[in-house]
Amino acid sequence: MRFECGQCGAALSFEGVRTQTCPYCASPSFVERPASSSRPDPVFTVAFAGDAQWARAHLDRWIGRRMIIADSALKNGSVDELRGIYLPAFLYSAVARTDYTASIGEHYTETETYTKTADDGTKTTETRQVTRTEFRPLAGVHLGYITDVVVSASAGLDHPTFARIEPFELRQLRRHSPALVSGFIQEEFSREADECLRVSRGAAIDEVGEEVRRFMPGDSHADLHWSTKVEWESLDPVLVPVWVFALRYRGDRPPLRVVVNGQTGKIAGKLPLSWWKILLLVLGAAAIVTVIVLLILHLREPPP
């Protein structure tokens, strides 16, 4: 998809994106296009909370905290690529009606008799109080609205990775406008709404599961099974801000890819570990434990 730059007329390629910065005049352009089912218009946008330096500071702090086990070369890594992307996503909400069955544990105390053998071999009978649990079946319903499920609609970022930089503060949701995305990359929707609906339902049912767990009475519960019917679903296209880093730290290794939540600074990435550091750490810990155990054994030994 090629369009002319809105400022200087140079030809710009908009492949998978809705915004582009002109390499000649540095003007940020955005594409106006009629919405279609595979390329919906965003309804809401969560705006970036900070600029590239803000994102870099969060990344440095994240790496710094993990330096004790991370590859030392990261310290002198250089940022190959740093992009602020408005990621396409879907915001899901629904009414959830859940039927559940569970086994509810209720504690009770019982007096138990046991035989105690003293050091000299004499046996005495004593009693003690023990807590036991009685399990009773329970079946019922749970009701509620599921409100803030967000799933990635970008083919480049799968939902598990996306879930690691969640949550986004949705109270800051704004009505979408090109003014919010100008100068950043707005990625085009690249996952089908049907697929996103399926993923959303899965996430919603997991969320209901958490709530049903908290809903259970008794002192404990087991064998919780629930089936949720969702009604009145809504699925709306939204844009959420993420920073994508490629950090080159060794010439012979692929760069470290990190995704940063552009609103909260939460980070997801697979940090290269230094096995030497971990080995030393484990050995050090083992040494400390050994010393403590030896000390205890030594102190418990009766003096000669």
Partner 1 sequence: MSACTRCHGQLEHGDLRCAICALPAISLAATERQDRAKVLRCTDCNAAIAFSPAVQAPRCAFCGATMAIEQLVDPLEVAEVRLPFTVDRAAAEASLRGWLGNRGWFAPSALRDEAVLESLTPLCWAGWVVSAQATVAWTADSDEGAKRSAWAPHAGKVPMRFESIVVPASRGLTLDECRKLIPYYDLRRTEPVGDDFVESFDAQRSAARVHVQRGIEATARTRVEPHIPGRRYRNIRVACLLQGQTTQRVALPAWVLAYRYRGAAYRAIVHGQRPEVVFGAAPTNWTRVALVVLGALAVVAAIITFFATR
Chain positions 236 to 255 lying near partner 1, rule: CB under 8 A, are 236
Of the candidates 218, 216, 264, 274, the residue with the CA atom closest to the CA atom of residue 243:
264
Q: Find the part of the chain contacting partner 1 (CB under 8 A) among 67-75, 129-137, 196-204, 273-281.
A: 129-137
CA angle 207, 88, 80 (to 5 degrees): 110
12 forms part of the interface with partner 1 (CB under 8 A)? yes
Q: Find the part of the chain contacting partner 1 (CB under 8 A) among 122-130, 182-190, 279-287, 288-296.
A: 182-190
266 forms part of the interface with partner 1 (CB under 8 A)? no
Query: Helix (H, G, I), strand (E, B), or coil: what is residue 235?
Result: strand
The distance of closest approach from Cβ of residue 226 to partner 1 in the complex, given in angstroms and rounded to an integer, is: 12
By the 8 A CB rule, do 272 and 174 touch?
Answer: no
Among 30, 189, 245, 249, interactor with partner 1 by CB under 8 A: 30
Q: Which is nearer to partner 1, 116 or 225 (CB)?
A: 225
Name residue 203's amino acid: A
Among 39, 67, 73, 148, interactor with partner 1 by CB under 8 A: 148
Round to whole Å and give the CA distance between 22 and 187: 16
Q: What are phi and psi of 76, to 5 degrees?
A: -105, 20
221 strand-pairing partners? 104
The distance of closest approach from Cβ of residue 139 to partner 1 in the complex, given in angstroms and rounded to an integer, is: 7
209 forms part of the interface with partner 1 (CB under 8 A)? no
By the 8 A CB rule, do 180 and 18 touch?
Answer: no
The distance of closest approach from Cβ of residue 48 to partner 1 in the complex, given in angstroms and rounded to an integer, is: 4
Q: How far is CA 3 from CA 139, 166, 180, in A?
A: 60, 34, 21
181 forms part of the interface with partner 1 (CB under 8 A)? yes
By the 8 A CB rule, do 258 and 145 touch?
Answer: no
200 forms part of the interface with partner 1 (CB under 8 A)? no
62 forms part of the interface with partner 1 (CB under 8 A)? no
Residues 87-106 that bind partner 1 (CB under 8 A): 91, 93, 95, 104, 106
Of the candidates 96, 132, 102, the residue with the CA atom closest to the CA atom of residue 216:
102
220 forms part of the interface with partner 1 (CB under 8 A)? no
23 forms part of the interface with partner 1 (CB under 8 A)? no
Kindly report the number of other CB atoms within 10 A of residue 277's CB atom: 15
44 strand-pairing partners? 175, 238
46 forms part of the interface with partner 1 (CB under 8 A)? no
28 forms part of the interface with partner 1 (CB under 8 A)? yes
47 forms part of the interface with partner 1 (CB under 8 A)? yes
Residues 150-179 that bind partner 1 (CB under 8 A): 171-175, 177-179
Q: Which is nearer to partner 1, 90 or 249 (CB)?
A: 90
Round to whole Å and give the CA distance between 88 and 71: 33
141 forms part of the interface with partner 1 (CB under 8 A)? yes
32 forms part of the interface with partner 1 (CB under 8 A)? yes
